[in-house]
């Protein structure tokens, strides 16, 4: 991260993470607090290692990471990931129609398990079907592989359907408060009348008015097999988006953990 980018980020989150000095001790400045958090997010170093580097307590690092990460989300969420409005949903639907030939689609949805160290006394809450402990990242991606809605924090033991049901996005989807465009007639299917705008997911998700999943079973009619092919092709964007995100993090971690001498070789 360049100094200019760091200063720009500090200008946005600085007021949210500035602490007041007391007569007992001076507070840690916002620039150092932001640097500690970014160091942890970029490298994944232990709290003890970062505490030694910055000469602060390990518990102090833990508090700083939690507070600054929340401040970064609060300061940047409206700029980097605003809640889509009606016109945004229409633009997303147009993208799916043009690139993936799936009409009235406003996003592909899927869940990603992010491996973590199990918290103390958590029992089996975070234990998933892969025999690891994880949090669930639930995301909606548009036709350009861009994340439009994210929900982080679902227990690893929960299925994609359960994570959706317990998320704020799932609640908005059920009560109709997502501000989706009104039902429209699909070209070539006027006899079916106006059809709703939908999200597409895999078999792990429930079938809802605004959420489609593939037809189950193996012995399907030609029309159902064609529908499953079209839906799976449109849904593939969320799988690719997760793959791109994982690759970027691996490359970033490799660059950070490689010594300057090795980078010249």
CA R_g for the chain: 22
Distances (CA, A) of 57 to 26, 52, 90, 152, 232: 15, 8, 50, 28, 50
Distances (CA, A) of 157 to 127, 131, 154, 162, 170: 5, 10, 8, 9, 18
Angle between helices 3-17 and 58-80 (to 10 degrees): 100
Q: Kindly report which listed range (16-20, 246-250, 255-259) carries the lowest average pLDDT score.
A: 255-259
pLDDT score for 248? 62
Helix (H, G, I), strand (E, B) or coil at 74: helix
**Sequence-distant (≥ 6) Cβ neighbours of residue 244 within 8 angstroms:** 145
φ/ψ (deg, to 5) at 90: -65, -40
Question: Domain boundaries in the chain?
Answer: 3-79, 82-262
Find the helix or strand (DSSP H, E) in which 136 lies. strand 134-141
Mean pLDDT score across all residues of the chain: 87
Q: Which residues partner with 184 through β-bridges?
A: 195
How distant is the alpha carbon of residue 148 from its chain centre? 8
Find the helix or strand (DSSP H, E) in which 155 lies. strand 147-155
Provide mean pLDDT across the span 85-113: 93
- Indicate left, alpha or beta for 217 from its phi (over 0: left) and psi (-120 to 50: alpha): left
pLDDT score for 252? 54
What the block records as the tokens of 241 is 């988006």
Task: Find out whether 237 and 145 touch, Cβ atoms under 8 Å.
Answer: yes
Query: With 90 as the cut, is the pLDDT of residue 256 above it?
Result: no
- Whole-model pTM: value is 0.80
Task: Find out whether 72 and 30 touch, Cβ atoms under 8 Å.
Answer: no
CA atoms within 13 Å, Cβ hemisphere of 211: 22
pLDDT score for 50? 94
**Length of the chain, please?**
265
Provide mean pLDDT across the span 78-87: 89
Give, in degrees to the nearest 5, the angle at Cα 249 between 200 and 12: 90
């Amino acid at each position: 991260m360049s100094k200019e980018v760091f200063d720009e980020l500090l200008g946005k989150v600085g007021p949210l993470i500035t602490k007041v000095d007391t007569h007992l001790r001076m507070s840690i400045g916002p620039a150092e607090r932001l640097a500690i958090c970014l160091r942890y997010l970029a490298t994944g170093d232990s709290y003890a290692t970062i505490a030694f580097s910055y000469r602060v307590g390990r518990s102090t690092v833990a508090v700083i990471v939690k507070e600054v990460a929340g401040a970064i989300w609060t300061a940047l969420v409206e700029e980097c990931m605003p809640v889509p409005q009606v016109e945004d949903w229409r633009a997303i639907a147009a993208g799916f129609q043009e690139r993936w030939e799936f009409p009235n689609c406003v996003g592909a949805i899927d869940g990603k398990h992010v491996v973590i160290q199990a918290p103390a006394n958590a029992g089996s809450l975070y234990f998933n079907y892969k025999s690891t402990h994880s949090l669930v990242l639930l995301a909606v991606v548009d036709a350009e592989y861009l994340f439009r809605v994210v929900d982080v924090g679902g227990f690893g033991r929960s299925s994609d359907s359960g994570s959706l049901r317990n998320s704020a996005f799932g609640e908005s989807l059920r009560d109709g408060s997502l501000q989706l465009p009104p039902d429209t007639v699909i070209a070539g299917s006027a006899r079916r009348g106006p059809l709703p705008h939908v999200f597409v997911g895999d078999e792990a998700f429930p079938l809802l008015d605004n959420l489609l999943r593939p037809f189950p079973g193996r012995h399907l009619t030609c029309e159902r097999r064609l529908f499953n092919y079209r839906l799976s092709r449109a849904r593939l964007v969320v799988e690719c988006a997760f793959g791109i995100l994982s690759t970027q993090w691996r490359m970033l971690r490799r660059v950070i953990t490689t010594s300057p001498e090795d980078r010249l070789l």
